[in-house]
Structure 1
Amino acid sequence: MTMTSTSRSQIYVLDQDEALDFYVGKLGLEVSTDQDLGFMRWLTVNVPGDPGREILLEKPGPPALDPKTAEQVRELLTKGAAGGFLFFTTDDAHKTYADLVAKGVEVTDEPTDRPYGIDFGIRDPFGNRIRIGQMHQGR
């Protein structure tokens, strides 16, 4: 058996509408699926032009977590101790950084030259960490 691609990743968010405002309104991602399944809202976003790689913006709870565990995850997420981690690339790290700062996005560290390129860190409203990088050619 050989894996051929990654199709979905998942991060926890406390409020899916607020997550849409951040990931679509501020980061510029697009909604892939927004469907009420009855037992949960299946909400995925993707980078425009890359619909094969979705990010599930999931509220802690059923069916994946029982109520007690969901509450523990919400508590840890609120403290910034259980957030996920996403990595994005950009053609211009400094411009992307300036755009996000202008939109009020929380920056955890400014663009820095590194051996692999230029990258910086931000955090979503729920404590999930995000790295955005402008990679050197061939990386």
Structure 2
Amino acid sequence: MDISIHSAYLPHDDPEAAVAFYRDTLGFEIRNDVEYNGMHWITVGPPGQPGTSIVLHPPGATPGLTDDERRVIAEMMAKGTYAGINLATKNLDETFTQLQAGDADVVQEPIDQPYGVRDCAVRDPAGNLIRIQETR
């Protein structure tokens, strides 16, 4: 089998803030920007990696959600407990410095974890947890 990761989905609740964070703070490319029925999908990805993307989507767009489920999702996003993604970089300290300069919401400064990785964590404007680990 030949399977790769094409895209991952993260919710957003403010398209302008999402674009500013993923483009300006993380340095990702904006690959697609679609508005439909008052909702907004934004596809971003790292330069030089056209086959891997993150789709920032309106959480309410999921078919079949009840009003109660939408409320729970909004509450979890506000607390930063709904979604997350792990990214990687060759130079964690340099990346972290750039994140701080971009006003990222720092959750954890770079640290050597007891399970063998060095990583840090920030939240995007929607509260999604973004862990960034250093590759060796």
Write the letter of the residue equivalent to 1:92: N
Write the letter of the residue equivalent to 1:118: R
Matched length: 134
Displacement after TM superposition at 1:18 (Å): 1.1
Counterparts in 2 of 1:104 and 1:63: CA distance versus 1, 3 Å: closer
Distance in 2 separating the partners of 1:102 and 1:15:
21
Secondary structure of the corresponding residue to residue 130 of structure 1: strand
Give the TM-score normalised by the residue count of structure 1. Answer: 0.84
Secondary structure of the corresponding residue to residue 59 of structure 2: coil
Higher relative contact order (CA 8 A, sep 6+): 2
Is this contact kept in 1: 2:24–2:102, CA < 8 A? no
| Deviant stretches of 4+, over 4 Å | 114-117
The residue number in structure 1 matching 2:25 is 26
Write the letter of the residue equivalent to 1:105: A
Counterparts in 2 of 1:34 and 1:89: CA distance versus 1, 3 Å: same
The residue number in structure 2 matching 1:15 is 14
Task: Kindly report the root-mean-square deviation, in angstroms, between the aligned alpha carbons of the 2 structures.
Answer: 2.0
Secondary structure of the corresponding residue to residue 74 of structure 1: helix
The residue number in structure 2 matching 1:53 is 52
- The percentage of aligned residue pairs carrying the same residue is 31
Is this contact kept in 2: 1:39–1:62, CA < 8 A? no
Give the TM-score normalised by the residue count of structure 2. Answer: 0.86
Is this contact kept in 1: 2:41–2:58, CA < 8 A? no
Counterparts in 2 of 1:63 and 1:101: CA distance versus 1, 3 Å: closer
Write the letter of the residue equivalent to 1:123: R
Displacement after TM superposition at 1:116 (Å): 4.3
Distance in 2 separating the partners of 1:63 and 1:133:
30
CA deviations on 1:79-133 (whole Å, 9 max, x unpaired) are 2232x11111112111111111122111111112346443111111221111112
The residue number in structure 2 matching 1:97 is 96
